[in-house]
């Protein structure tokens, strides 16, 4: 886990230590966990530092729910005013959905109730098919509904799909709704004063980027003899493994991304107008090229919501040159994590330092049975350990049954995360 030293006021990405030249906000929060290597080169192509040796109780205790049902909105939060998150491998496992992570869900809930704007900025691009984004965040949205997240707090939750192409907002019904693009107050209209934002793009420019990317991906697939397919969406092109294959080697995905980056760099150098932003990245199991990038996505949110870059924080796992979080370094401070567990750890520190973490949310280990807490089990302290364990076990079984029923209800269908297509199992 590492902090980036990026600044929106610097054009170049000069190499500096992660402990210097940071925004005052990040320095104030002191989010850096134990064993951060402050001498590492943030802009190098080396992998991120290994996970810190902090307790994993935050995200690994499936039987606990650090639920805080009371909304305690504060007028001033001593921390970021906007926190943006990558999706895969940041909020949920790569290629999976946010199904059940009550601890992380509770921390996001607490941020919203304390006036922080939360936004998921993801490469997943299903245009404005809201039900597909909702499926990816199903457990989180269900948590908000179960704990009656207030309408004014729902107003602070956003999702930016396709890096920067589709903006959705959480409504008082705890469902995602498209944000108006054009006309008075439309997000594309009010952010056009920012260069390279989607409101300034033309369809011919978009088509040219996608044509070059698709052609290059197909050439790479043939040259490397990959068992893969190239698919094209409205604002992206992807290289994905064929069904029932062993997958695409990471080196082959990197090679494809580097080829596309080189071709698009030449294309932008030939442009008379300002270059069109793009993001060619290795997704771990696939490779994608999106029109636009997370630098644009975060900038749009900052401009549309009137929030300062200095009080924005982006959390993601892809900060190499072939990753899609890298571009966000140019517009706000960033935290480089490697798993949802580390995301949970970061949010716990933000809430603690802002004095926004209720004492009841702390783990209070009572006995050798592990993370059995008075709050989470709904029990009172008993001198009889056996009685305590049995009461807690009944509570946990009830929750397990509820989760199982929800899983069974949707077990007949699944969504292809590459195409967004719903299929029968």
**All residues at 6 or more sequence positions from 330 whose CB lies less than 8 Å from its CB, including other chains:** 6, 8, 10, 13, 295
CA-based angle 250:165:79, to the nearest 5?
Answer: 85
- Of 88, 153, 290, 317, the catalytic one is 88
| 86 assigned to active site | yes
Number of H helices, E strands in the chain: 13, 14
CA distance 288 to 281: 6
Q: 336 is written with which tokens?
A: 């480089």
Q: Taking a C-beta distance cutoff of 8 angstroms, is the pair 260, 282 a contact?
A: no
Residue 115 backbone class (left: φ over 0; alpha: ψ -120 to 50; beta: rest) = left
Q: How many CA atoms does the CB half-sphere of 283 hold within 13 Å?
A: 26
CA distance 326 to 190: 25
Q: Tell the residue number behind the tokens 């001498």, with chain if given.
A: 39
| 58 assigned to active site | no
Q: How many CA atoms does the CB half-sphere of 102 hold within 13 Å?
A: 17
- Of 5, 86, 286, 290, the catalytic one is 86
Q: How many CA atoms does the CB half-sphere of 398 hold within 13 Å?
A: 10
Going by C-alpha positions, the residue among 141, 37, 88, 96 that lies closest to residue 325 is 88
Q: Tell the residue number behind the tokens 């991304």, with chain if given.
A: 257
Q: 5 is written with which tokens?
A: 């030293």
CA distance 229 to 226: 9
User: Catalytic amino acids?
Assistant: 86, 88
């Amino acid at each position: 886990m590492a902090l980036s030293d990026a600044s929106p006021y610097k054009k170049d990405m000069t190499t500096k230590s992660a402990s210097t030249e940071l925004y005052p906000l990040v320095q104030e929060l002191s989010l850096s966990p134990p064993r951060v290597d402050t001498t590492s080169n943030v802009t190098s192509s080396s992998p991120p530092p290994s996970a810190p040796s902090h307790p994993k109780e935050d995200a690994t205790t499936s039987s606990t729910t650090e639920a805080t049902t009371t909304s305690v909105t504060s007028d001033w939060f001593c921390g970021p005013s906007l926190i943006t998150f990558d999706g895969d491998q940041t909020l949920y496992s790569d290629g999976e959905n946010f199904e059940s992570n009550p601890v992380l869900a509770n921390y996001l809930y607490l941020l919203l109730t304390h006036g922080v704007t939360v936004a998921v900025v993801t490469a997943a691009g299903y245009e404005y098919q809201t039900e597909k984004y909702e499926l990816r965040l199903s457990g989180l949205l269900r948590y908000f509904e179960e704990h009656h997240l207030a309408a004014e707090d729902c107003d602070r939750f956003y999702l930016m799909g396709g890096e920067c192409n589709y903006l959705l907002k959480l409504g008082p019904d705890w469902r995602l709704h498209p944000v108006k693009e054009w006309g008075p107050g439309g997000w594309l209209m009010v952010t056009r004063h920012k260069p390279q934002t989607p409101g300034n793009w033309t369809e011919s420019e978009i088509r040219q980027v996608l044509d070059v990317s698709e052609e290059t991906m197909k050439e790479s697939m043939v040259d490397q003899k990959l068992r893969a397919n190239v698919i094209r969406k409205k604002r992206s092109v992807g290289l994905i493994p064929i069904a029932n294959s062993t997958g695409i080697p990471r080196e082959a995905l990197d090679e494809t991304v580097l080829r596309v980056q080189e071709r698009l760099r030449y294309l932008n150098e030939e442009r008379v107008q300002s270059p069109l932003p793009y993001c060619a990245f290795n997704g771990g199991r696939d490779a994608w090229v999106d029109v636009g990038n997370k630098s644009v996505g975060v900038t749009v949110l900052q401009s549309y919501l009137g929030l300062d870059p200095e009080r924005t924080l982006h959390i993601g796992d892809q900060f190499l040159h072939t990753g899609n979080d890298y571009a966000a370094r140019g517009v706000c401070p960033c935290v480089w994590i490697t798993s949802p567990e580390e995301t949970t750890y970061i949010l716990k520190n933000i809430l603690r330092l802002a004095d926004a973490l209720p004492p009841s949310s702390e783990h209070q280990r009572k006995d050798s049975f592990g993370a059995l807490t008075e709050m989470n089990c709904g029990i009172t302290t008993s001198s009889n350990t056996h009685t305590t364990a049995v009461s807690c076990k009944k509570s946990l079984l009830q929750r397990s049954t509820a989760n199982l029923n929800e899983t069974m209800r949707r077990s007949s269908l699944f969504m292809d995360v590459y195409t967004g297509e719903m299929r029968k199992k």
